[in-house]
Structure 1
């Protein structure tokens, strides 16, 4: 993922705000979720709360403020770790310097999970689809996958105490697995995190196949064209034409498998 640095939020540091990309949650609901999380046997280490202030520009996400109010970091049985509040800025600065990372503003090391670094994207300018909780491998720290919209949701899923706050990418993956037309339409209408073009391509291909099987050739054609466009955007420099041809072949095959012969021929003519 490559982004030019963006300016941090002008909101006062230390004043809690909504989690990146999320509506303002009710404090009572947050408290109940945090209580349920901390009661889980999946929590193997819980540190007492500390007086450390929020160390970063912009407001602290409300879910993190609720967590840090009762525990200064966590360790879960599956290895997922939430750093102490006072460690966030130091860990981020150290990693960026050690690996010569050109991260944009708003990316914060939050913890780790096995061989993955867990990163909070505060997305202060709204340039990255609302940010959220990302994972990146230690050997690919500029390649992110968004897992959740909030740190609390991420920890809930790892502890097995709730569905979390899944981001659009997870909703899209679930819709693909269920082959749910309505859910695919809904998920594809949401802004995806930068670098998720192949997810969008697969979702649109799946939607096109389902619509073709239902006899909606016009809707299927739009979905297939969207799949092709997403794959072209994801192609490395200079490989756009090859990727477009491969994407069209996949769409033709999907249309034929769905029994939409005329549509398959129409797509084949675009190659």
Structure 2
């Protein structure tokens, strides 16, 4: 996990969150110890020091601290999941399971708060870096601390070159190669439209590589060909006809 503020620095944020009208249920703090592998993140410690779980008006539910390990073990057993020990079920949000990734092995881009559909519990989307930040986003209280993948999605939509470069420079959560490919494709198109064909070519090449990494086994060549066509189309859309022709000519 990334470096987080001290517990005392988080208390005002927790107080503001719990005073928000979107919080429809909160519970008295409990004496249950942190039940999971690895240290308790400071933001969760601050949250559980004020309320033992909560419910939002939109149905988002955070479990009691004492329920976390049992809920995680039950879900792993019931769904035959081979999750690592540092993934913890925090609660749910409609048809999604909320999961805390502690990333104790530093192998998953620092971990954070993940969402996984009930029918796809091996497919994660990282939403925020911390549980408190996630709740701030859900309530609309503050932007919270969105995950790089969320900032990347926003930058793609906005067509923001500096934001794209900044988000792409950060470690991204495993399984985001398709999003990376789209981001690099978008960046390449924007750079081509500015006349920077060298930088555009580099972005397009990274897009092709990311799309090939995301391909199912045995389909990398097909995905690479599709990625080349996408780069040619993006360059053409940007008015860079010579660049488009170079990618269109490749096989």
User: Which TM-score bucket, shorter chain as reference?
Assistant: over 0.9
Answering whether residue 98 of structure 2 is matched by residue 118 of structure 1, we say yes
Using the alignment, how far apart are the partners of 1:97 and 1:152 within structure 2?
28
Using the alignment, how far apart are the partners of 1:63 and 1:80 within structure 2?
18
Aligned counterpart in structure 1 of residue 219 of structure 2, from 209, 222, 239: 239
Answering whether residue 31 of structure 2 is matched by residue 31 of structure 1, we say no
Shift of 1:90: 0.4
Q: Which runs of 4+ in 1 moved over 3 A?
A: 26-29
Answering whether residue 56 of structure 2 is matched by residue 80 of structure 1, we say no
Q: Which residue of 2 aligns with 1:223?
A: 203
Q: TM-score, normalised by structure 2?
A: 0.98
Q: Which residue of 1 aligns with 2:89?
A: 109
Q: Which residue of 2 aligns with 1:60?
A: 40
Q: Which residue of 1 aligns with 2:71?
A: 91
Shift of 1:196: 0.6
Give unmatched runs, 5+ long, in structure 1.
1-19
Shift of 1:181: 0.6
Compute the RMSD of aligned alpha carbons. Answer: 0.9
Shift of 1:27: 3.4
Using the alignment, how far apart are the partners of 1:217 and 1:26 within structure 2?
46
Using the alignment, how far apart are the partners of 1:23 and 1:59 within structure 2?
13
Using the alignment, how far apart are the partners of 1:26 and 1:123 within structure 2?
19
Q: Which residue of 2 aligns with 1:3?
A: none
Q: Which residue of 1 aligns with 2:112?
A: 132
Q: Which residue of 2 aligns with 1:7?
A: none
* Counterpart contact for 2:133–2:144, Cα < 8 Å: yes
Using the alignment, how far apart are the partners of 1:203 and 1:241 within structure 2?
21
Q: Deviations over 1:125-179 (max 9, x none)?
A: 1000000000001110000000000000111111110101101100101111111
Shift of 1:265: 1.3
Shift of 1:28: 3.9
Q: Which residue of 1 aligns with 2:183?
A: 203
**SS in structure 1 at match of 2:50:** coil
Q: Which structure exhibits the higher relative contact order, with contacts defined as CA atoms closer than 8 Å and separated by 6 or more residues?
A: 1
Aligned pair count reads 251
Q: Which residue of 2 aligns with 1:141?
A: 121
* Counterpart contact for 2:152–2:183, Cα < 8 Å: yes
Give unmatched runs, 5+ long, in structure 2.
none
